[in-house]
Amino acid sequence: MHDPAGRIVVVLDLDGVTDKAGLMDRCARDLALPDWFGRNWDALADSMADPALWPEGAGERGLLVVVRGWRKYAETRPEEWQVAEEIFAEATDRGPGLFVTLGLGESSERPPDQPG
Protein backbone atom coordinates (compact mmCIF):
# COMPACT_ATOMS: atom_id res chain seq x y z
CA MET A 1 0.00 0.00 0.00
CA HIS A 2 1.31 3.43 -0.94
CA ASP A 3 0.70 6.71 0.87
CA PRO A 4 0.80 9.82 -1.35
CA ALA A 5 2.17 11.81 1.61
CA GLY A 6 5.19 9.49 1.76
CA ARG A 7 4.45 8.02 5.18
CA ILE A 8 5.32 4.44 6.07
CA VAL A 9 2.11 2.38 5.84
CA VAL A 10 1.26 -0.46 8.22
CA VAL A 11 -1.95 -2.48 7.88
CA LEU A 12 -3.63 -3.59 11.09
CA ASP A 13 -5.90 -6.40 9.88
CA LEU A 14 -8.60 -7.21 12.44
CA ASP A 15 -10.35 -9.80 10.28
CA GLY A 16 -11.50 -12.57 12.64
CA VAL A 17 -10.92 -10.56 15.83
CA THR A 18 -13.86 -10.88 18.24
CA ASP A 19 -12.51 -9.69 21.60
CA LYS A 20 -9.94 -7.48 23.32
CA ALA A 21 -7.39 -10.29 23.67
CA GLY A 22 -7.58 -10.92 19.93
CA LEU A 23 -7.23 -7.20 19.23
CA MET A 24 -4.14 -6.97 21.42
CA ASP A 25 -2.58 -10.05 19.78
CA ARG A 26 -3.23 -8.63 16.31
CA CYS A 27 -1.82 -5.22 17.29
CA ALA A 28 1.30 -6.92 18.67
CA ARG A 29 1.73 -8.86 15.43
CA ASP A 30 0.82 -6.29 12.78
CA LEU A 31 2.43 -3.30 14.52
CA ALA A 32 5.51 -5.39 15.41
CA LEU A 33 5.29 -4.39 19.06
CA PRO A 34 8.02 -5.63 21.43
CA ASP A 35 7.67 -8.80 23.50
CA TRP A 36 7.18 -6.67 26.63
CA PHE A 37 4.01 -5.07 25.18
CA GLY A 38 1.50 -5.32 28.05
CA ARG A 39 -1.60 -6.18 25.97
CA ASN A 40 -3.81 -3.60 27.70
CA TRP A 41 -5.31 -0.29 26.60
CA ASP A 42 -2.66 1.93 28.23
CA ALA A 43 0.19 -0.14 26.79
CA LEU A 44 -1.38 0.02 23.33
CA ALA A 45 -1.70 3.81 23.48
CA ASP A 46 1.87 4.20 24.75
CA SER A 47 3.31 1.81 22.16
CA MET A 48 1.48 3.34 19.20
CA ALA A 49 2.53 6.88 20.19
CA ASP A 50 6.22 5.97 20.61
CA PRO A 51 8.19 6.65 17.40
CA ALA A 52 11.01 4.46 18.77
CA LEU A 53 8.69 1.46 18.25
CA TRP A 54 7.65 2.38 14.71
CA PRO A 55 9.10 0.74 11.60
CA GLU A 56 12.43 2.01 10.36
CA GLY A 57 12.10 5.42 8.68
CA ALA A 58 8.62 6.12 10.09
CA GLY A 59 9.96 8.54 12.69
CA GLU A 60 11.19 10.80 9.90
CA ARG A 61 8.51 10.17 7.28
CA GLY A 62 5.47 9.57 9.50
CA LEU A 63 3.39 6.45 10.08
CA LEU A 64 -0.01 5.66 8.61
CA VAL A 65 -1.83 2.76 10.27
CA VAL A 66 -4.71 1.45 8.14
CA VAL A 67 -7.17 -0.62 10.20
CA ARG A 68 -8.94 -3.26 8.10
CA GLY A 69 -11.52 -5.90 8.92
CA TRP A 70 -12.75 -3.97 11.97
CA ARG A 71 -16.52 -4.00 11.37
CA LYS A 72 -17.24 -7.46 12.80
CA TYR A 73 -15.32 -6.66 16.00
CA ALA A 74 -17.10 -3.31 16.27
CA GLU A 75 -20.49 -5.04 15.94
CA THR A 76 -19.61 -7.90 18.32
CA ARG A 77 -18.03 -5.77 21.07
CA PRO A 78 -19.19 -2.17 20.56
CA GLU A 79 -18.00 -1.00 24.00
CA GLU A 80 -14.50 -2.41 23.42
CA TRP A 81 -14.40 -0.98 19.90
CA GLN A 82 -15.28 2.46 21.26
CA VAL A 83 -12.31 2.22 23.63
CA ALA A 84 -10.08 1.05 20.76
CA GLU A 85 -11.11 4.06 18.67
CA GLU A 86 -10.35 6.35 21.62
CA ILE A 87 -6.92 4.72 21.99
CA PHE A 88 -6.20 5.24 18.27
CA ALA A 89 -7.22 8.91 18.60
CA GLU A 90 -5.13 9.40 21.76
CA ALA A 91 -2.09 7.79 20.15
CA THR A 92 -2.53 10.01 17.09
CA ASP A 93 -2.67 13.11 19.31
CA ARG A 94 0.45 12.05 21.24
CA GLY A 95 2.53 10.57 18.44
CA PRO A 96 3.92 13.25 16.12
CA GLY A 97 3.51 11.99 12.58
CA LEU A 98 1.12 9.14 13.47
CA PHE A 99 -2.15 8.80 11.58
CA VAL A 100 -4.71 6.01 12.05
CA THR A 101 -7.48 5.47 9.51
CA LEU A 102 -10.25 2.90 9.26
CA GLY A 103 -10.36 1.00 5.99
CA LEU A 104 -13.70 0.97 4.22
CA GLY A 105 -13.57 -2.66 3.10
CA GLU A 106 -14.38 -5.55 5.42
CA SER A 107 -10.90 -7.11 5.17
CA SER A 108 -7.86 -7.40 2.97
CA GLU A 109 -9.04 -10.85 1.83
CA ARG A 110 -12.66 -10.22 0.86
CA PRO A 111 -14.42 -7.47 -1.09
CA PRO A 112 -16.75 -5.16 0.85
CA ASP A 113 -20.24 -6.46 1.60
CA GLN A 114 -22.50 -6.22 -1.41
CA PRO A 115 -26.11 -5.04 -1.06
CA GLY A 116 -28.86 -7.62 -1.60
pLDDT in tens, 49-60: 999 999 999 999
Is pTM, for the whole model, over 0.95? Answer: no
Cα–Cα distance between 77 and 82 in angstroms, integer?
A: 9
Q: Is the pLDDT of residue 4 over 90?
A: no
Confidence tier at 13 by pLDDT (50, 70, 90): very high
- Average pLDDT of 91-112? 74
Contact 27, 81 (CB under 8 A): no
Burial of 58 (0-12, 13-18, 19+ CB in 10 A): buried
Write the CATH number of the domain with boundaries 8-102: 3.30.370.10
Strand order in the sheet with 63-68: 8-13, 63-68, 98-102
Sequence spans of domains, the chain: 8-102
Q: How far apart are CA 69 and CA 35, in angstroms?
A: 24
